[in-house]
Structure 1
């Protein structure tokens, strides 16, 4: 069962209500869970709507004058931070969906990642032990360039060690 934060309760009970404060409290749920692992943000919105705030009061109209990057290749950590600021400034359903889409792209869930790996390996060639490790760690895979640098360092160190032994 959802329990609203004290901040959200205080802002909802304030007279007069300040929607900017309520939106700020809602943004706290995204800041606490930027990967949207839980549905606390959605439940908080529903709580606000069920406790005297109308959709018209809560959600603004989409403001196209505020940046809105649709090119997914430009979505990165920095843009995600900006998108959350833009959402606070223009709290609308389109921007909420946008922020969630960016989070989903930047932070794919380990379960979705394993499913993608299984499909890429022709449905089932990934051993169950590997699948469970990927699910439990939730870490991003190491970038290839880092693996290459590590391999080069190891090769250079081995070459130096062999050279020293042959003296």
Structure 2
């Protein structure tokens, strides 16, 4: 599957809202819920405006992962960009219909190539839970170094987990 990363735009609001709505139950199996308000289009649109404003100010970059037909298959974000330290924090999600097909790995590779070329950041930090083996594989496949496991335990969906911290450094 050919993929592209496109920066978040207001023109994608309806398609992104449908993507989030269609994957709500799936996403909530591995990440905390966004709350019911998020799934009202007017609230979603207000939050989207805030994200685009953040992106315009260079605080974060929000990307849509799209297939060859320009359908949204996932999201990838580089947030809390610290220009002085040249660091940012990674987040991503892939829709249920596209999970397990290598999309997150390929999209992350595209992102890392892009930030390296543009010099946006020199180091990307990431974290995932101890039970999210797929996410650990995506990060490690793309050259992220496992740093440590947090001491704090969180309880989510009846499971006790901790966070694994990672970093990637540009070559």
Q: Which TM-score band applies after superposition, normalised by the shorter structure?
A: under 0.3
Per the normalisation by structure 2, the TM-score is 0.27
Per the normalisation by structure 1, the TM-score is 0.28
Write 1 or 2 for the structure with the bigger share of helix: 1
Larger radius of gyration: 1
Higher relative contact order (CA 8 A, sep 6+): 2
Write 1 or 2 for the structure with the bigger share of strand: 2
